[in-house]
Amino acid sequence: MNTVSSLKQLQVINAIWWSIISIIHAFALSAFGLTVAEIFTDSLICNILLAAACQLIFSNMRFYLPRQEKYYYVLVISLAVSGVWLFVSNIILKNIFKSDEHYLAVLGSSLSIRYGVSFLMVSCMSMISLLWYTQQEQQETTSRKADAERLAKEAELFKLRQQLQPHFLFNSLNSISALTGTQPEKARHMIQQLSDFLRGTLRRDEQQWSSLKEELEYLQLYLDIEKVRFGYRLQTNIDCTDKALQMKLPSLLLQPVVENAIKFGLYDTVGEVLITLNATDKNEQLEITVTNPFDEETAQPLQGTGFGLASIKRRLFLLFARHDLLQTSAKDNKFITTIVIPQLYEGDHN
């Protein structure tokens, strides 16, 4: 689109340019005592031919853009095209005004000036063409590079979003298998929940952002399944401000954070595990805090920034180019994960 409009602009300027040159040409000839018809014909033929020659150079460069020694190319082609132009225009004008001695004398004595002027014109035009096409090419390269980067980024984000723990899936299926014998109704309910959860994972690929409210609904499915698996051991407490509920965040970001907290909590402590999630709007940013219990004595130091959180960190970096959006801390046998989501999401209106 950009190329077409700039090409049109170039053509308009080109036409104005040649009209001005023709008028200057005519004024210059009028000093030599020629008739109006002679001045008009001379100017018209010379400049139409010259314009055609320049157009030829311009079109030619679309197919062949000199890369090395491009300035020599401009020099040589300008010298050659000007020569050819002088030769052709001279023959035509001589033939038209065969019997006009005065005109032929003026023509003959002005040949070197004509060559000089046409050389300037042609070299100027070829420089413009060269710059124009070089710029076009650069623009294309830049946009292609940007496209490639965007695709790579999307692919990586897609991969990070897709990391569903097979462990979770198989254990859930095992729970369903257990329920089938004793409580078939409950088994059916859990299949429903698991299906909704999996469908959510698949469906959310395209729409990159969703509101906290939507994400919490999706998270609830996950929590319900985990509660069936772990029974009384797993307790959750979710607390959000109304404004925070309307704020947006990248989809499928929250669930892995909570999954990490649950795993961490369940496998690092014996007995009941309380997972809390708080969401607030702070400085027009969405701040989500997830806490889980852990044992300061025995927790493996690296576990907190294990794979679950590392991939979240990477996703936040790809989306916001910031490393400080995910923070973790440990206090009083509680492990706290804090995520800040700036509200400048893409695709505001779709």
Partner 1 sequence: MKAIIIDDEPLARSIVKEYLQHHPDIELLQECNDGFEGVKAINQHQPDLIFLDIQMPKINGFEMLELIDNPPAVIFTTAFEAYAIKAFETFAVDYLLKPFSQERFDKALQKLLLQQKNSGEKTKEIVEAAAQSPMQSNRVVVKDGGKIKIIPVPQIQYLEAADDYVKIITNDGAFLKKKTMQFFEDSLQPFHFARVHRSYIINTQLITRIDAHEKDSHLVLLSTGMRIPVSKAGFAKLKEILGL
Binding site for partner 1 (CB under 8 A): 166-167, 170-171, 173-179, 181-182, 228-231, 233, 266-270, 295, 297-302
Least separation in angstroms between residue 257's CB and partner 1 is 20
The sign of the torsion formed by the CA atoms of 253, 258, 259, 260 equals positive
Choice between 301 and 347, CB closer to partner 1 = 301
Query: Could you give the CA distance from residue 64 to residue 55 in angstroms, rounded to a whole number?
Result: 14
Query: Could you give the CA distance from residue 294 to residue 264 in angstroms, rounded to a whole number?
Result: 7
Least separation in angstroms between residue 71's CB and partner 1 is 57
Choice between 10 and 169, CB closer to partner 1 = 169
Exposed/middle/buried for residue 298 (C-beta within 10 Å: 0-12, 13-18, 19+) = exposed
Choice between 25 and 229, CB closer to partner 1 = 229
Least separation in angstroms between residue 306's CB and partner 1 is 12
Choice between 164 and 178, CB closer to partner 1 = 178
> C-alpha 101: how far from its chain's center?
67
Least separation in angstroms between residue 347's CB and partner 1 is 38
Least separation in angstroms between residue 258's CB and partner 1 is 18
Which residue, chain included where needed, has tokens 């020099």?
75
Choice between 69 and 272, CB closer to partner 1 = 272
DSSP E strands: which ranges in the chain? 209-211, 234-240, 248-250, 273-282, 285-293, 326-331, 334-342
Choice between 74 and 273, CB closer to partner 1 = 273
Residue 156, token pair as written in the block: 């990586």
Least separation in angstroms between residue 63's CB and partner 1 is 59
For 66-90, b where at least 16 C-beta lie within 10 A, e where not — what string? beeeeeebbeebbeebbeebbeebb
The single-letter code of the amino acid at 228 is V
Residue 342, phi-psi category: left (phi > 0), alpha (psi -120 to 50), beta (remainder): beta
Q: Is 349 helix (H, G, I), strand (E, B) or coil?
A: coil
Choice between 275 and 288, CB closer to partner 1 = 275
Least separation in angstroms between residue 281's CB and partner 1 is 36
> C-alpha 258: how far from its chain's center?
31
Choice between 200 and 265, CB closer to partner 1 = 265
Least separation in angstroms between residue 309's CB and partner 1 is 17
Neighbours of 348 (CB within 10 A): 8
